[in-house]
Structure 1
């Protein structure tokens, strides 16, 4: 069965999701259905990268100058810890430390999770005297038609 993602943007798409769930159950009892909140917004994404850039420009952490991407990993780890998400820790290949192998992707965050990440990032920066800049301008891409909210992947 192909993986399908539907954004519940209107009644037609809600009905489509119900049909797909029933079909999955009829064909494969035990199929998994996952419901997530709305994805992060473009404004949240812009704010996150502006804040991470401010951290990278103004702070040294662990005695190192870090990139915005490095700080993103630190902040995502803080979010997982705050939410008490399961973390998978394994020894590094040379056994001199440990590696967190939990999935780490800000693009998979829901709107609420991204709000929490921004709050954690702001608190961290405030505690370390970061002077915040404004987020990058909003993405001005056109809104896709409703039909675009149903995705299929194999």
Structure 2
């Protein structure tokens, strides 16, 4: 049975509770401690930004979708490997942003801001236009 626990800052009892579950675990159980993944706020910021870039930037003669731009930015963050496809073309071997930590996802957002500034993207979010 999977159990998920969140370690809360300043809650010693919470940590002891989690440690007790680890001590009670069966032989062969795996304990994985990971930083929190991206927030819903970060995720909801990403897609309008990708849509703005998609509408406004012509990339080497190509109009890319938001999903394709996400792949481009993810490849820039990860320094991903590109390999030939089975039937031609190329495949980017990469990571999923759903597994990004909050800091890594913030890095992605900052990369999109920087790229957008270079390409004179006008952000649809009024708060972004004022910044």
Normalising by the residue count of structure 1, what TM-score does the alignment of the two structures yield?
Answer: 0.66
**Counterparts in 2 of 1:65 and 1:89: CA distance versus 1, 3 Å:** closer
State the shift of 1:116 in Å. 0.6
**Counterparts in 2 of 1:63 and 1:38: CA distance versus 1, 3 Å:** same
Query: Hey, what does 2:129 align to over in structure 1?
Result: none
Query: Hey, what does 2:111 align to over in structure 1?
Result: 120
Of 76, 95, 109 in structure 2, the residue corresponding to residue 103 of structure 1 is 95
Query: Hey, what does 1:140 align to over in structure 2?
Result: none
Cα separation, 2, equivalents of 1:39 and 1:89: 26
Contiguous gaps of at least 5 residues in structure 1: 82-86, 136-154
Stretches of 4+ aligned residues off by more than 6 angstroms: none
Query: Hey, what does 1:19 align to over in structure 2?
Result: 20
Residues 38-85 of structure 1, C-alpha deviations (whole Å, 9 max, x = no match): 22222211221121111011012232111111111111111212xxxx
**Counterparts in 2 of 1:63 and 1:22: CA distance versus 1, 3 Å:** farther
- Does residue 36 (structure 1) correspond to residue 28 (structure 2)? The answer is no
Of 60, 79, 93 in structure 1, the residue corresponding to residue 77 of structure 2 is 79
State the shift of 1:15 in Å. 2.7
Contiguous gaps of at least 5 residues in structure 2: 127-131
Paired residues, what number?
A: 125
Q: Could you say what secondary structure the match of 2:4 adopts?
A: strand
Residue pair 2:74, 2:95 contacting (<8 A) in 1 also: no
Normalising by the residue count of structure 2, what TM-score does the alignment of the two structures yield?
Answer: 0.76
Residue pair 2:54, 2:64 contacting (<8 A) in 1 also: yes
Instruction: Kindly indicate whether structure 1 or structure 2 has the higher relative contact order, using CA contacts under 8 Å at least 6 residues apart.
Output: 1
State the shift of 1:120 in Å. 0.6
Query: Hey, what does 1:148 align to over in structure 2?
Result: none
Query: Over aligned residue pairs, what C-alpha RMSD do you find?
Result: 2.5
